[in-house]
Each structure stands twice: as C-alpha cells, then as structure tokens.
C-alpha cells in the first residue's frame, strides 16, 4: 500500500532528545489494496494471498489491516486461500521456503523491505520491475535507484527497466507485445552469455539491450 502507513512523511522532533513518526492506516486504503491483491491472484491463476503485518505489537493499526484482510477474503472464499504472518517470520520464510508464497499484500514499510529481500533471491535489484497502480492511472519503473556507484560505467542491468515495460504493457492490455518482450528477456537469461556483472557476466548495458533486441527479432 503506497499512500499511507509509515511513508506519509509525518515526522517531527518533540524535544532535542526525541522524535515521533505517525503511522496512518485507513479502512478505505487497506480494503482497496487487499481487494487488488485478491483480484490479482484470481486474474493470474494464483491460489493464495498472504497478508503480512505485525499485529502482535501494532495492535490497532495492523490489527485493522488483519481484520480487513479476512473481511475481503470472504468475498473470494472457495477461490483464493488466505493466510497471514508476522513480518519478521515472513522475512525468514522468504529465505527458507520462498516457493510457499504466491501473492503477498502488506503495508508500505514492510513491503519495501520484503520486496528488496525477494530481489536478492532472483538476481538482485537489476532484475526487479515495479508498478504504482492507482484507480485512474499507473506508473512503472525499476525498483532500483540511480546506482551512483556504477554511474557512467555502462554496466547497469537494463532488465529491470524492460520488465517494468512488460508490466506496463500488461496494464495497457497489450498482451502480445508483453509476451514478446518477456520471452526475449527470458531467452537472453537462459542463454547466459550476455549478462551484466551483477548477474555474473561481463557485458555492458548496451550489449544486453542489443541481445534482447536480437531475440525480439
């Protein structure tokens, strides 16, 4: 959920020795993202949604999140299974049994941390696309930042950007174009000969892009 939680930037120093941050959780926003998670599972042939929270400590805000999770789950009973875990347990399970997850829904801070952990399982941030999807529009971008440590070296992995384009094409219902681009990226990965250093190769950004273009053609 990308509009509230800990990332609303409501922080203040109340003395020179302390500060406070506010965490906002609303029924409207959580119902919206949780329902989206179940719809995503249904539309993509997934059988389970996992809600992630810390309701044992954050009893009011994450208690509300968990309550809404099971309210929404009733609308998909018999179609989509639901489960919930604490965020710290989820962090461990992503390492020890990642195959047990299909769709994870959570609040902003927890999702930010877990998504980067998940990236580490599949090649790093250079492989991970993202989408900010609202009711009236969407924005797609790689998860990673500007990578100043490798700026100007021509070795950034372009796959996260191209996979973000795949997500955008899916959102626009350009399914044939999405499949073609996704298959081209997969072909280059499976061949394993034209990869950037983050994936163990020595190819440049432009060489990887060129290989994907050739696979498209």
Question: What element of type H or E holds 90?
Answer: helix 87-96
| Per-residue pLDDT at 9 | 79
Q: What is the pLDDT of residues 154-179, one digit of tens each?
A: 999 999 999 999 999 999 999 999 99
Strand runs (DSSP E) across 57-97, as ranges?
Answer: 81-86
Give domain limits for the chain: 1-121, 124-217
Q: What is the pTM of this model?
A: 0.89
Is residue 84 a contact partner of residue 34, using CB atoms and an 8 Å limit? no
- In CATH terms, the fold of domain 1-121 is Rossmann fold (3.40.50)
Please give the span between the terminal C-alpha atoms of the chain, in angstroms, as a whole number: 38
Instruction: Report the distance separating Cα 126 and Cα 208, nearest Å.
Output: 12
Q: What is the pLDDT of residues 3-60, one digit of tens each?
A: 999 988 788 888 889 999 999 999 999 999 999 999 999 999 999 999 999 999 999 9
Instruction: Report the distance separating Cα 137 and Cα 151, nearest Å.
Output: 31
Strand runs (DSSP E) across 6-86, as ranges?
Answer: 11-15, 18-21, 48-53, 81-86
């Amino acid at each position: 959920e990308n509009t509230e939680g800990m990332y609303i930037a409501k922080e203040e120093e109340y003395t020179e020795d302390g500060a406070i941050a506010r965490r906002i959780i609303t029924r409207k926003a959580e119902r919206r993202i949780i329902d989206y998670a179940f719809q995503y599972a249904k539309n993509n042939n997934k059988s389970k949604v996992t809600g992630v929270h810390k309701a044992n400590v954050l009893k009011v805000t994450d208690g509300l999140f968990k309550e809404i999770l099971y309210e929404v789950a009733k609308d998909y009973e018999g179609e989509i299974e639901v489960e919930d875990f604490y965020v710290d347990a989820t962090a461990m399970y992503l390492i020890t049994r990642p195959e047990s997850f299909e769709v994870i829904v959570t609040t902003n801070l927890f999702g930010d941390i877990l998504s980067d952990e998940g990236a580490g399982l599949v090649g790093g941030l250079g492989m991970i696309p993202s989408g900010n999807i609202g009711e009236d529009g969407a924005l797609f971008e790689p998860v990673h930042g500007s990578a100043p440590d490798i700026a100007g070296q021509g070795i950034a992995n372009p796959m996260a950007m191209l996979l973000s384009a795949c997500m955008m094409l899916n959102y626009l219902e350009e399914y044939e174009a999405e499949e073609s681009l996704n298959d081209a990226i997969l072909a280059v990965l499976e061949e394993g000969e034209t990869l950037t250093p983050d994936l163990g190769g020595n190819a440049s950004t432009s060489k990887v892009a060129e290989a994907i273009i050739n696979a498209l053609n």
